[in-house]
Homo-oligomer: A and B are copies of this chain.
Amino acid sequence: MISKKYADMTTKGSIIREFAQYASKRALEVGAENVHNFTIGNPSVPVCDAFTKELQRMLAEEEPVALHGYSPTLGIESVREAVADSLNRRFGMNYTAADIFMTSGAAGAIAHAIRCVTEPGNEVLIFAPYFPEYIPYIDGTGAAIKIVPADTASFQINFEAFEEIMNPNVHAVMINSPNNPSGIVYSTATIKRLAAILEEKQKEYGHDIYIISDEPYREIIFEGTDSPFISAFYDNTICCYSFSKSLSLPGERIGYIAVNPACKDAELIVLMCGQISRFTGHNCPPSMIQLGVAKVIDMTSDLSIYEKNKNILYQELTGMGYECVEPGGTFYMFPKTPIADANEFCRMTAHELDLILVPGDSFACPGHMRLAYCTTTERVERALPLFEKAIKMCR
Contacts and interface: CB of A to CB of B under 8 A. Distances in A.
Interface of A: 1-7, 9-10, 42-47, 52, 55-56, 59-60, 63-65, 67-71, 103-105, 107-112, 115-119, 122, 133, 136-137, 139-141, 171, 207-208, 248-254, 264-265, 268-269, 271-272, 274-276, 278-289
Contacts of A4: 119
A208 B287 CA distance: 38
Q: How many copies does the complex hold?
A: 2
A43 B249 CA distance: 28
A331 to B, nearest CB: 13
A393 to B, nearest CB: 33
Closest A-B pairs by Cβ, 3 of them: A140-B279, A251-B287, A111-B281
A65 B52 contact: no
A95 to B, nearest CB: 19
Contacts of A110: 281
B248 A279 contact: no
A3 B116 contact: yes
Contact of A104 (B45, B104, B117, B287): B104
Contacts of A44: 65
Nearest to A52: B59
Nearest to A11: B271
A115 B105 CA distance: 22
A134 B107 CA distance: 24
Contact of A59 (B56, B71, B141): B56
Contacts of A253: 283-286
23 contacts: A1-B118, A1-B208, A2-B208, A3-B117, A6-B276, A10-B272, A10-B274, A52-B64, A56-B56, A56-B59, A64-B248, A68-B248, A68-B250, A69-B250, A71-B251, A108-B281, A108-B282, A136-B278, A140-B279, A140-B280, A251-B287, A253-B283, A288-B289
Nearest to A40: B70
A1 B119 contact: yes
A6 B390 CA distance: 52
Nearest to A65: B46
Contact of A281 (B64, B280, B286): B280
A43 to B, nearest CB: 7
B42 A2 contact: no
Contacts of A279: 111, 136-137, 139-141
Given A2-B264, A108-B280, A253-B284, 18 more contacts: A1-B122, A1-B207, A3-B119, A47-B64, A52-B64, A56-B56, A56-B59, A68-B248, A68-B249, A107-B281, A107-B282, A108-B282, A136-B275, A136-B278, A137-B279, A251-B284, A251-B287, A252-B288
B281 A282 contact: yes
A119 B250 CA distance: 32
A253 B254 CA distance: 12
